[in-house]
Structure 1
């Protein structure tokens, strides 16, 4: 009798363990939820976007249950349109585009992670005669296009330096990359108005530049990950998970920027630069990532430096004031309009094992 009872109990236990194993297997086989994230103003997703590419390389978003596709799009305004149409879930966009969407078009787009400050500058020849903004009088200044969001910044910088941007200088479209640098080298333009990583790219290509900018810009929120209020309301878990992956990737990259570059090359070989020996390419991309980390850290300090990517309404207020003062927008709204307002959101995003991410970055296991 005792033997039969023990055997029956053993069978029941085995059946229970089998059921648990099958349940766990079913849970692990649960399909990942697909999410599309568009990056505005980008043609190639190179090593300059580690907060978006490292979650893919390191599996942070997959661990949260999401299969995220990160795609490049020509400009921030296009991603605003895609968000409004519901064809994408999230967008990396300039703060200017986000503010204009809310103020001018009443589109409820909210920043969920601030990743860069406003880091544009005019790059001039380091050994040339232009040492300050006033020295640009009578000169030609190149910009990616005359529709660029950098145009109001350039005009504001010129006015602050005592120049009339409509009379004292000539602003010309030079495109990006090699054509822009060649315009400077050939003296067709005497300055290039670009964002920081583009200027670093010019230096990597052999340019020697002096930067002219407004230090106040470093207190403006700029390149941010955003979504619509509708998605925040309908899928808060996804929004939180994506922001947490961004935060973890930011910490990883800041801990070991060189490893982030190495992982990017390994995971996304199609975006690896060419045209030089391996050591030169590595050195150039390491400089690029270092520049990005500098801007990421300045963005982190907008909200006191406590967490990566945390949104700061005051940083958007300063950007909105700038846009209003330079007649890009004709009215202002409460700065809280531009950021996610879900109670406890930032605290939950920051709820991950920071030390584990730091150890992972220091170990830099690339397989």
Structure 2
């Protein structure tokens, strides 16, 4: 199956981005007086990849940064727009509808290959979040057992499809001949497909499995091979002209976001309550007290994908850093999955020049505030 068929509408959106980029559409922020912090007030437009109806990156970064005063410290007013996935979020940035977005690396790489002038300025998810899961005691106990089997993916346009293909390829199987990929969505729909035998395994992200495990369900996870170590997922991306024109504002936004992420790593429950205040739709009509225990566990799972795999929060540093080796490994993975066709120009794809300023904050103060926050 060709890439255009797998990505569907997403690929069409990417094709239009080159046209949008050529139309200009500069960043929409403004700057005026300071608030006593010495920083001029500014507006930053944030594109969110999907509606926030559950614990995910916007809670750990934006919600906490807003509710804990980190955006106010930077004298930033952040406006948000919702989009339909990472490709659409990149499109919003490319068209000038937004200044910055946390998008999947695959969307950034694909856009860059098409000549869209977007650039990654800070990493977010650094630990590979995708896993293959089966039912305990089932017929699939190893990757090789997937031959002739059906794997449930979120959709053929999601990141789970190329991951599933790469996983079976890594096991020495032919992803086009030896397995079938069936769209099953996430949540109860995916679980039903697995339990009914419609599929023999699932290819989901860890956060989705945690949600199901909280209902009492159990899974057996097949180990990922070495090829998946070091592949990057979400990263913050901006237009090239936004980077030039709003370098200070974007640096301040990243700093507030990384402070929010550190806070979330220390106290996910307090972070989740911040999320309810900013995105009340997460509650789905229930009270915060009814939801917070499970939602905090789900958020904690996501946070673990975005912070160092080892060490306590006190040891975390170099927020947002992505090495050339990690970008190259990510690009190799995307080439093998058909998302891109050639090696990217890292000098155009990645600009880490803002990270020194983004890391210029008192981590101990953030940790202390998180530890003392009311759960």
TM-score range, shorter chain: 0.7 to 0.9
Distance change in 2, residues 1:335/1:305 (3 Å): farther
Cα separation, 1, equivalents of 2:233 and 2:303: 14
1:44 is aligned to: 52
Give the total of aligned pairs: 334
In structure 2, runs of 5+ residues without a counterpart are 1-32
Mapped contact 1:300–1:306 kept (Cα < 8 A)? no
2:301 is aligned to: 291
Cα separation, 2, equivalents of 1:206 and 1:256: 24
2:237 to 204, 226, 251: 226
Cα separation, 1, equivalents of 2:178 and 2:234: 30
- After superposition, residues 115-154 of structure 1 pair within 5 angstroms as 115-117=124-126, 118-154=128-164
Cα separation, 2, equivalents of 1:274 and 1:126: 34
**1:172 is paired with a residue of what secondary structure?**
strand
Please state how far the C-alpha of 1:274 moved relative to its aligned partner.
Answer: 6.7
Distance change in 2, residues 1:299/1:110 (3 Å): farther
Higher helix residue share: 1
2:252 to 236, 241, 249: 241
- After superposition, residues 211-360 of structure 1 pair within 5 angstroms as 211-212=221-222, 213-272=224-283, 278=289, 281-298=291-308, 306-342=317-353, 345-360=354-369
Cα separation, 2, equivalents of 1:215 and 1:333: 22
Mapped contact 1:143–1:174 kept (Cα < 8 A)? yes
**1:219 is paired with a residue of what secondary structure?**
coil
1:66 is aligned to: 76
Please state how far the C-alpha of 1:116 moved relative to its aligned partner.
Answer: 0.8
* Residue 89 (structure 2) pairs with residue 89 (structure 1): no
1:200 is aligned to: 210
Distance change in 2, residues 1:203/1:274 (3 Å): farther
Cα separation, 2, equivalents of 1:137 and 1:338: 37
Distance change in 2, residues 1:325/1:143 (3 Å): closer
In structure 1, runs of 5+ residues without a counterpart are 1-25
Please state how far the C-alpha of 1:32 moved relative to its aligned partner.
Answer: 4.8
1:166 is aligned to: 176
Q: CA RMSD in A?
A: 2.7
* Residue 139 (structure 2) pairs with residue 112 (structure 1): no
Please state how far the C-alpha of 1:264 moved relative to its aligned partner.
Answer: 2.3
Mapped contact 1:55–1:245 kept (Cα < 8 A)? yes
